[in-house]
Structure 1
Amino acid sequence: MAVISDRDIAALSARLRRYATALTGSAADGQDLAQDCLEKALAHRDSLRDADRLYPWLLAILHNLHASAHRARARRGWEEPVDRFADSLALSQPPADRGAVRDLVRAMAGLTPEHRQILLLNGLEGLRYAEIAEALDIPIGTVMSRLARAREQLRLALEKEVKDVVRRIR
């Protein structure tokens, strides 16, 4: 059992919120998901065995909560507000980059949740394969294959976005 304090967990809250927002596609939903994750982590901090693995442990909690919420939304037929998130994220970018940011967010939204998670953990959070495997509780080979497939799906989705834009311009 590792000894972790409230301060240790709170120090990672900004990273968790950023990742949760990207994962959910909504600032409000991301904030709620990160908050739920932190509450659960504080309540179960005694179950962490290695304090050096705090962030992957928090990500595992966050992913479990997100998967549960995703299943509940699927049963209710609720859609994530992708366009609203794309617009709000794009507005925080320089004007020249806004269209590309919108296209990227929409392309990411079209990926499976597993592929979106892998891309965000690697690209946004900068986690190594082993850290992703630990956070998602999957073999490292699965991380590598999902990441390769996710990158290919994203490339194809972005190519489609570009073709759609070109068609609209003509």
Structure 2
Amino acid sequence: MTSKELKQQLHDILPPLRRFAISLCGSVSDADDLVQSTVERLLTRTKPDDLELIAWAFKVCRNIWIDDYRARKVREKATHHVELQRTQSADNEERVTHAMQLDEVNQALAQLPDDQRSMIALVAVQGLSYREVASILGVPTGTVMSRLARARSKLAEYFEGVSVCS
């Protein structure tokens, strides 16, 4: 693959990779840093022959996020405060409502274990099939299905007790 072809493929996968990173991080600025680290690693390593570029990118992104999460676990407590993440104020009711709904979803996702959050991000946000997720994460398809079922169940329980804006 030529350098030009690689650049074009990387350009094509950036939007889904960024959405995945946002779903993992819960913060746009942290997600942008994660995408940058992922692309840097993709450019400095050799792609495995058995994976497509996008699957490899998701795998690399998830692994970097896990490593970073473990390293920053104590320091991240402050970044989970919604007040610290908001940088702009909404001046119309619709924007405020959407922001409140997004906050509720992010809080619900933050309650999930890492493995379940990854499943929700890859299946629900990225729209990947169970088989694709299993390949990316290196787990059996049944594991993907059971983790996803547990994640959906926990999210349903969370939203039963929370008043979500309509």
Band of TM-score, shorter chain:
0.7 to 0.9
| Cα distance in 1, alignment partners of residues 20 and 84 from structure 2 | 14
Give the 3-state SS of the residue equivalent to 1:161 in structure 2: coil
- Which string of whole-angstrom CA distances, capped at 9 and with x for unpartnered residues, describes residues 108-167 of structure 1? 11111111111111111000001111111111110000000000001111112229x9xx
Report the aligned-residue RMSD. 2.9
- Which string of whole-angstrom CA distances, capped at 9 and with x for unpartnered residues, describes residues 26-83 of structure 1? 1111001011111111111x333157x2111110000110110011012x34324352
- 1:118-137 superposed matches below 5 A: 118-137=119-138
Q: Return closer, same or farther for 1:68/1:160 CA change in 2, 3 Å cut-off.
A: same
Q: Return closer, same or farther for 1:103/1:159 CA change in 2, 3 Å cut-off.
A: same
- Which string of whole-angstrom CA distances, capped at 9 and with x for unpartnered residues, describes residues 1-38 of structure 1? x7761221222112211221221011111001011111
**Structure 2: 5+ residue stretches without partners:** none
Contact 1:26/1:85 (8 A) holds in 2: no
User: 2:55 aligned with 1:59, yes or no?
Assistant: no
- Which string of whole-angstrom CA distances, capped at 9 and with x for unpartnered residues, describes residues 84-130 of structure 1? 58857xx6x65554433322221111111111111111111000001
Contact 1:26/1:82 (8 A) holds in 2: no
The answer for the alignment partner of 1:32 in structure 2 is 33
| Cα distance in 2, alignment partners of residues 152 and 18 from structure 1 | 23
Give the 3-state SS of the residue equivalent to 2:49 in structure 1: coil
- Structure 1 or 2: larger helix share? 1
Give the 3-state SS of the residue equivalent to 1:47 in structure 2: coil
- Stretch moving more, 150-159 or 10-19: 10-19
* Deviation beyond 6 Å, 4+ runs, structure 1: none
| Alignment TM-score, normalising by the size of structure 2 | 0.82
| Alignment TM-score, normalising by the size of structure 1 | 0.81
| Cα distance in 1, alignment partners of residues 124 and 81 from structure 2 | 19
Give the 3-state SS of the residue equivalent to 1:162 in structure 2: coil
The answer for the alignment partner of 1:107 in structure 2 is 108
The answer for the alignment partner of 2:76 in structure 1 is 78
Q: How many residues align?
A: 160
Q: Return closer, same or farther for 1:103/1:11 CA change in 2, 3 Å cut-off.
A: same
Q: Return closer, same or farther for 1:78/1:105 CA change in 2, 3 Å cut-off.
A: closer
The answer for the alignment partner of 1:159 in structure 2 is 160
| Cα distance in 2, alignment partners of residues 40 and 157 from structure 1 | 36
Q: Return closer, same or farther for 1:37/1:156 CA change in 2, 3 Å cut-off.
A: same
Identity value in percent: 29
| Cα distance in 1, alignment partners of residues 62 and 84 from structure 2 | 20
**Structure 1: 5+ residue stretches without partners:** 166-170
Q: Return closer, same or farther for 1:127/1:144 CA change in 2, 3 Å cut-off.
A: same
